[in-house]
Amino acid sequence: MTYVPDRITSKPGHTQDGYGGHELDVPTWPVEPDRYRLVAARACPWANRAIIVRGLLGLEDVLSMGLAGPTHDERSWTFDLDPGGVDPVLGYERLQQAYLARDPGWDKGITVPAIVDVPSGAVVTSDFPSITHDLFFEWRDHHRPDAPDLWPDDCREEMEAVMKRVFTDVNNGVYRCGFSGSQEAYDEAYDVLWSTMDWLEERLTDRRYLMGDRITEADVRLFTTLARFDAVYHNHFKCNRNKLTEMPALWGYARDLFQTPGFGDTIDFDQIKRHYYVVHEDINPTGIVPKGPDPSVWLTAHGRDRL
């Protein structure tokens, strides 16, 4: 596991699958029901992953969740969706307060998702790949009995390779397009993005999910980008070779997941658009939020069950 350098990270509480922490000298928090709070935001694709995995695994009763609003300033995500603008469990107005409780000198990014230790009010980790990984491996004693196997042993190596390409070229690729500082950088990111989108289109033509006939963590990671593609990335990030709706396999696949319990019910297109079009003032200085596209298209028949 590679940890993002500018995110607060920690060692897992225990290692049922031998998965270890990183090399930093940091505290170890044990896995305990009702001790931690997942702070997320429906607007954020990285946080959306954690929301989906928490629900698929049935961890709602052992890991509470707080949701930040879609817009924020440079200081951090805020709990403006809650009464009085205060998270009812943490008592915080800003996620920044949890970071400062862990490190009073923290001057880097304040990101979601984040796992917060409720007794101390301190952030435990904000490393988004490790959060969903740990929810599966470290919290497995608390999964619901029929929870899906999001990390199947028989295809783990291939899945890791697929997720790596999806992250580099698609999840992060749309951001590389949107925040390119030069035409050359944009052109390169654009070409890489669409090369992988075409690869995914071909891969999903004859298989229902990325790894075959079952939903895995790979599908969760791709879905949160696809859900935002036409509403945001196509226009706002200039990823406009074509729309997702114009790619038969990918569009059918995205709708199939959207209509699967635990996926589409985590998506709020209004919050997603408000986040990107309002917060990214350098890209959209007017702050105007587009009215479209029509979200009802996500509920149309996908025909993927034939696979």
Q: How far apart are CA 202 and CA 186, in angstroms?
A: 24
Q: Is 284 exposed, middle or buried (0-12, 13-18, 19+ CB in 10 A)?
A: middle
Residue 29 marked ligand-binding: no
Q: Which of 44, 177, 239, 277 is catalytic?
A: 44
3-state secondary structure of 277: helix
The tokens describing 187, both together, are 């052109």
* Residues whose CB is less than 8 angstroms from the CB of residue 185 and which lie 6 or more positions away in sequence, other chains included: 176
The verdict on whether 175 is a catalytic residue reads yes
The tokens describing 58, both together, are 């049935």
Q: How far apart are CA 307 and CA 301, in angstroms?
A: 14
The verdict on whether 3 is a catalytic residue reads no
Q: How far apart are CA 78 and CA 58, in angstroms?
A: 26
b/e code 70-105 from CB counts within 10 Å (16+ = b): bbbeeebbbbeebeeeebeebebbbbbbbbbbbeee
Query: CB 245: neighbour CB atoms within 10 A?
Result: 17
Q: Which of 3, 19, 155, 175 is catalytic?
A: 175
Q: How far apart are CA 170 and CA 203, in angstroms?
A: 15
Active site residues: 44, 175
Binding residues for glutathione, by number, are 77
Question: Known binding site: residues?
Answer: 77
